[in-house]
Structure 1
Amino acid sequence: MLGDVTIAHPTRPDPFTNRHHAATNRQNGAEDAKALRNAADRKHSKYGTEARTSNFTIVPLSAESYGRWADEAAALVNRMARHMRPPVYMEEGDVEFFRETAVERWWARLSMLLQKGNAHMVRSRAWRASRWNGQERAGVRG
């Protein structure tokens, strides 16, 4: 199994719009989870054939920048939890609770990593923009 992370932004500007007035991408925002499906479809089309010929399964771990995860990612997390071995001292009735707790912790960790990635992108873009604006004001163009 091969996993590939992709982050979709459902309200990103259309790539084909006029640069002076970037329109909101209505295609991805019009349907529930369409940005996630489009991102997963791109991963399947990019790696699917090669993965199948190598006897691998590609699982796109798609998330929206706002925090929503795709069904394939959720299915993978739940599948991993089902295959977890509980500690030997654990009572039989506590095994399901053990797995549910693991899933909750994984989702919390994944969500935190997504938000940290978003913060990093915003910070780096803000830094680049401020640096560019400083050069523009000083009359320096790169």
Structure 2
Amino acid sequence: MRNLFVRILAEADVPSNMEVPLHSLGITPSDDNPNSQRMDIYCVIDGSDYLLDVTIAHPCRPDDSPIPFHRTVNRRSARGKMAQLAEKDKIDKYGPTAQAAGFRFVPLAAETFGRWGEKTMDFLKMLAKRKHRPTSIPTEEDTAFRESIINHWSQLLSVELMKHNAFQVASRAQRAAAARGPRRASAFPEDFVSRGPYRPHTRPAPGCEVAGWIWIL
């Protein structure tokens, strides 16, 4: 996802760097978490320093999850604001320190179901304004030209998000397969897909196998 945002920045004539350590920018990380020590993307737009951090939130968790946070997430997602909540979490974490150091912080948030945060869309609109309009497109069609750019970028981001979702599901399925046996599928409470309780493989009772089908009586 970060690579695609870097590509979009390049299309808007904005050079950028990825995985920039906060200490190199004169910013003190908020905690000792390794993921908090760097910023996903650093760029300069019209003389202003920008810090961009990508985050992807899932709108729901298994309804019967024993983790209280999952039930809280489900209640929040009913209002369709997971992307906005993810933006707020990032702003609360990085915003004050970034602003104090003279940077503009923009969280690039998305939901796994495809909704993008308002900050992300506003940022894309700003980048679209920087895109040079070909001379073959008349001035009166400038608005439509900018909208077509945003639509193009949105489509690219949607495809990248689907790839991310597919990777997450596949990796968790592999972990679940490795855990088959006496362990339950709920051993991975953070899974995006709820597989339900573990059901051991059992041999069907005599007479329940018919022409290759297993009938559950």
Q: TM-score, normalised by structure 2?
A: 0.54
Q: Are 2:169 and 1:122 aligned?
A: yes
Which of 36, 54, 67 is residue 5 of structure 1 equivalent to?
A: 54
Contact 2:55–2:108 (CA<8 Å) still a contact in 1? Answer: yes
Residue 28 (1) aligns with residue 28 (2):
no
In 2, distance between residues paired with 1:131 and 1:11? 25
Match of 1:105 in 2: 152
Q: CA contact under 8 A between 1:11 and 1:24: conserved in structure 2? A: no
Question: What is the aligned partner in structure 2 of residue 62 from structure 1?
Answer: 109
Distance 1:25 1:32 in 2: 11
Identity %: 35
- How far apart are the structure 2 equivalents of 1:106 and 1:71? 15
* Cα drift, residue 131 of structure 1: 1.9
Cα distance per residue 1:88-110 (max 9 Å; x no partner):
44432333332221111000001
Evaluate the alpha carbon distance shift between residue 125 and residue 78 of structure 1 in structure 2; reply closer, same or farther with a 3 A threshold: same
Q: What's 1:44 paired with?
A: 91
Q: Secondary structure at the match of 1:110?
A: helix
* Alpha-carbon separation, structure 2, partners of 1:25 and 1:3: 24
How many residues are treated as equivalent by the alignment? Answer: 130
* Alpha-carbon displacement from aligned partner over 1:56-98 (angstroms, at most 9, x marks no partner): 1111111111001111111111111112121244432333332
CA RMSD of aligned residues (A): 2.2
Separation of aligned partners in 1, 2:118 and 2:95: 18
- Greater gyration radius: 2
Does 49-58 or 22-31 show the bigger shift? Answer: 22-31
Determine which structure has the larger strand proportion and give its number. 2
Alignment partner of 1:50: what SS? helix
User: More displaced, 62-71 or 84-93?
Assistant: 84-93
Q: Which runs of 5+ in 1 are unaligned?
A: 138-142
Structure with greater helix percent: 1
